[in-house]
Amino acid sequence: MRHKAIVQFDGEKAQINRNIHGHFAEHLGRCIYEGIWVGEDSDIPNTKGIRNDVLQALKDLEIPVLRWPGGCFADEYHWKDGIGPREGRKRMVNTHWGGVVENNHFGTHEFFLLCELIGAEPYVNGNVGSGTVQEMQEWVEYITFDGESPMAGLRRENGQDQSWSLTYFGVGNENWGCGGNMRPEYYADLYRQFQTYVRNYGENKIYKIACGPNGDNYHWTEVLMREATPFMDALTLHHYTIPGPSWQEKGSATRFTEDEWYTTIERALYMDELVTKHSTIMDKYDPEKKVGLIVDEWGTWFDVEPGTNPGFLYQQNTIRDALVAGVTLNIFHNHSDRVQMANIAQTVNVLQAMVLTEGDQMLLTPTYHVFDMYKVHKDATAIHVQENTDNKHLHLSASKNQAGEVHLSICHYGLEEAAEFEFELRGWEKAAAHATGTILTADSMNEHNTFENPEVLKPTSLDGINLTKDKLSVTIPPMSVAVIKLH
């Protein structure tokens, strides 16, 4: 069947903040330990304790911003446990995630090293639920103050002379749940209090992030915006894609029915409604859109892989995950006026991961490939795409970068038929343009990469693109994410 879409070049929208392609790494399961941190004495090749294979994969992905240390872990984390000589660091229980020993070997210094090595901006999430105002204030001082002070002195004693640069700081996480089970009125007051002491030292300017709602909790957004708008730069939103009927039956990552496939994509697409409705509430208090909406946890959440620790949230990643990543990034591109950052959960070995590891082996997931293909949209201006099609299984976004190149992202989440596209390029000024494309697709809906066969799914070139003066036609197979470049 033939589908028409109009790409409206004179319908340019806001710039796509590069941070929309951000990531999240928590002290959870094998994300930090094993997945990122193996320690300097490990047999796995590493750079100052961080495994080289993962380091290279994350560097290649050009991750713009990385959120740490949680998640629920953030509101139990006491940062002073994670500094100083490693052998002397406090061993504690990670009560939230599997009840395992947390030896605090990965702390502030190691996190900033990781960010430096992969070229990502750090996003530190502070502790409101079980921490104090003083503890939060001192952490910011420890990280960013360059003068003479107790915390700057302590940092120097621990080997870091120069302060680090830190922009993104979250004041609590999920304070409506694991971060203290608070009511929005109470958290709004606490937020106002805590953020007062999140100071700007010297040239360092903190972008303050308040804990926002869970899914469709519009009341939370209303209260936070009403009570705290002048004190925040951004408000967060969390939404996970869970196909099953309950938290006890979320569904398998690899063994699922066609109905579950479509339910999964529908639940991912629900992000559009959430962003739209929360943004509408934000518009009431912030019509100039100065406060960003940050979706700092999103992605698929399935039952853990059989035989793995239920508290470790380890799941495989199929072409279905690739489609979830593609449609969700499209939604964020299309809402780039309000969405200023998003952080998929989580980077390695947890939930919808980019990378999976097993001992010294590593594989790239289909989700990794989508982020890699989509990185062309970072900092580009979103373009209006009008769909005129009765195929409900297509989802698009487009952008134009500073060099004048246009990228169209097409997600075809139907399971049966290929879709023949005809794009009308309205307002496209370049007569003799070229078009090239990349596609990630599969032969069956649960295809995935394994350690035995790590390259079953990887992007290939998209053939058969026809471009005339202002029309582009192409056929996209089912279960595909494609990116077309016009230049």
Q: Which residues bind ligand AHR (CB under 6 A)?
A: 26, 70-72, 173-174, 297, 345-346, 351
**CB nearer to ligand AHR: pick between 297 and 372:** 297
Shortest spacing between CB 345 and ligand AHR, in angstroms: 4
Nearer to ligand AHR, 121 or 174 (CB): 174
Q: Please identify, using beta-carbon distances, which residue of 26 and 141 lies nearer to ligand AHR.
A: 26
Q: Which residue number, 211 or 435, has a Cβ lying nearer to ligand AHR?
A: 211
Provide the minimum distance between the beta carbon of 57 and ligand AHR in the complex, in angstroms, as a whole number.
20
For the bound state, the minimum distance from the C-beta of residue 73 to ligand AHR, rounded and expressed in Å, comes to 6
Q: What is the DSSP letter of 288?
A: T
- Structure letter (DSSP) for residue 377: G
Answer for the pair 448, 318: CB distance below 8 angstroms, yes or no.
Answer: yes
Minimum distance from CB of 423 to ligand AHR (Å)? 37
CA distance linking residue 76 with residue 172, whole number of Å: 10
Residue pair 443/482 in contact by the 8 Å Cβ criterion: no
Neighbouring residues of 210: CB distance < 8 A, sequence distance ≥ 6: 171, 172, 191, 195, 224, 228, 231, 232, 234, 235, 236
Q: Kindly list the distances between the CA atom of residue 368 and the CA atoms of 27, 106, 155, 364, in Å, as whole numbers in the listed order.
A: 20, 24, 35, 6
Query: What is the DSSP secondary-structure string of 306-351?
Result: TTS-GGG-----BHHHHHHHHHHHHHHHHTTTTEEEEEEE-SBSSS
Please identify, using beta-carbon distances, which residue of 238 and 395 lies nearer to ligand AHR.
238
Residue written as tokens 């971060």?
179
Nearest residue to ligand AHR, using CB? 71
Beta-bridge partner residues of 480: 412, 441
Q: Which is nearer to ligand AHR, 70 or 478 (CB)?
A: 70
Active site residue 358: no
Phi, psi of 461 (to 5 degrees): -80, 145
Instruction: Give the residue with the Cβ less far from ligand AHR, 86 or 267.
Output: 267
Give the side-chain half-sphere CA count within 13 A for 206.
27
Angstrom distance (rounded) from CA 480 to CA 303: 24
Q: For the CB of residue 383, give the shortest distance to ligand AHR in the complex, in Å.
A: 32
* Closest CB to ligand AHR among residues 278, 485: 278
The two structure tokens encoding residue 423? 């794009």
| Nearest distance, CB of residue 251 and ligand AHR, angstroms | 17
Q: Least distance (Å) from ligand AHR to the CB of residue 214?
A: 8
Establish whether 297 is a catalytic residue: yes
Please, what is the minimum distance in Å from the beta carbon of residue 385 to ligand AHR?
31
Nearest to 19 by CA among 477, 386, 333, 275: 333
Phi, psi of 285 (to 5 degrees): -100, -15
CA distances from 376 to 189, 403, 437 (A): 40, 11, 12
Name the catalytic one among 121, 138, 141, 297. 297
299 within 8 A of 241, measured Cβ to Cβ = yes
- The active-site residue out of 26, 34, 121, 174 is 174
The residues near 138 (Cβ < 8 Å, ≥ 6 apart) are: 80, 150, 151
| Residues noted as catalytic | 174, 297
